[in-house]
Amino acid sequence: MKEISCKLLVIGAGPGGYVCAIRAGQLGLDTVIVEAGRPGGTCLNVGCIPSKALIHAAEEFEKASHAASGKSPLGITASAPSIDLSHTIAWKDGIVGRLSGGVAALLKKAKVKHVHGWATFRDGKTVSVETETGQQVIRAETVVIATGSVPVELPFLPFGGAVISSTEALSLAEVPERLAVVGGGYIGLELGTAFAKLGSRVTVVEALPRILAQYDAELTRPVTRRLAALGVEVLTGAKAKGFSAEEQALVVQTTDGEERKIEADRVLVTVGRQPLTEGWGLKEIDLDMDGKFIRIDDRCRTSMRGVYAIGDVTGEPMLAHRAMAQGEMVAELVAGHNRSWDKRAIPAVCFTDPEVVSVGLSPEEAKAGNVQVKTGLFPFAANGRAMTLQGEEGFVRIVARADNHLVLGIQAVGRGVSELSASFALAIEMGARLEDVAGTIHAHPTLSEAFAEAALKTLGQALHI
């Protein structure tokens, strides 16, 4: 059995892991990355990318269906559309394959050695990897744990048969006639909305008083209205209790304590994700934990010298771009650079219809921190580009300090607002003030004008409302 020695070992080739390895390779570090699946992790293979492909296909199908109804205000008519979901999934798989292959090529370009298999710690500097050709031992000066997360499985709704996770939902051969979604967070609503547009009768079951509870109610109201328009039934304050295979129904306890059975061909369980901390020898290195997550400091260092952790395994927010930023920073730290990391400017995007974006502090969070703030909101109903896109629903909102006008947070809900997230994050990252945003000339006609208009509104100088 041949051993490999390296400067840096990265365990997991998801967004955080592969970015860390590529950057380390660019910096001249002898780097090895271990991954049991395809490069790209959950996000690229069974998460962010394939879900957005399905969402886009659903949007196109809904447009065609609307045109076929003869009710399009654009004057477009069409024949009744149909969809071959297996063909759609094959198209999605093609995108995933190209991107995964691209990651592998980038690792090779950076001279990173890729070991395919499952890694298990022997000690803080050594892992053994079960590969197709046998066991491989790797010794490293520094180790980065980037094992990611997996869907939470409910004991009374175990995955299998009609009960599926988001992974299986993205590979269905046909559109389910009836779909029950357990969990009203962003994953459940993104996929539930997509299947509703594809023709499924969708019911969402959420135990909390409202959907998308991580966002404030003002942001989520347009999403709630759109779900109703799509015919999606939303049950809040309701708890799933199990699945009756005989009756092909999800058993739910409603707010009044009554039991209700929701007929469903598929039950999509999306109640969150949990860190993947089992099966790779965490007990062998005895790291300090923060609940279920690995405890890290502001430089992603764990309690063991020479061992870092990044991404979902380290806690919220579980976002691919957070993991990427952490991975890049850690590679530079290992190379001897002076780096730190600040999560205040991480945008969170929900790809529902309409989309939701949040960066920095909400008004409630700022006030909870005893910060005096002023806020301003500009509606897309007053934005010319939004009107031409039939996207008048929604707004951009800015939260700023009352004394010096420093921008603390930016939120938006509306069609296509995910593409504004970089501008929002940049403003906070660069320490912009309301006057900076308002004084930046935004191209007309674009959705981005709502950003400048929101700043003007916060300053009391609104021009178009």
Q: Are 205 and 175 in contact (CB under 8 A)?
A: no
Residues whose CB is less than 8 angstroms from the CB of residue 282 and which lie 6 or more positions away in sequence, other chains included:
121
Rounded CA separation 307/193 (Å): 41
Query: Quick one: which H or E segment has residue 266?
Result: strand 266-269
Using a 10 angstrom Cβ sphere, with 0-12 exposed, 13-18 middle and 19 or more buried, the burial of residue 31 is: buried
Three-state DSSP at 197 gives: helix
Rounded CA separation 270/283 (Å): 29
Instruction: Report DSSP state, residue 14.
Output: S
Three-state DSSP at 152 gives: coil
Cα dist from 78 to 57, 81, 389, 391, whole Å: 17, 8, 19, 22
Neighbours of 145 (CB within 10 A): 30
Rounded CA separation 349/412 (Å): 10
Strands (E), 336-426: 348-350, 355-360, 373-379, 395-401, 407-414
Three-state DSSP at 297 gives: coil
Rounded CA separation 172/142 (Å): 41
Active-site residue flag, 405: no
The pair of structure tokens assigned to 268 is: 């999509």
- Identify the active-site residue in 87, 337, 444, 464: 444
Among candidate residues 2, 1, 15, 9, the one with its CA nearest the CA of residue 310: 15
The residues annotated with a catalytic role in the active site are 444
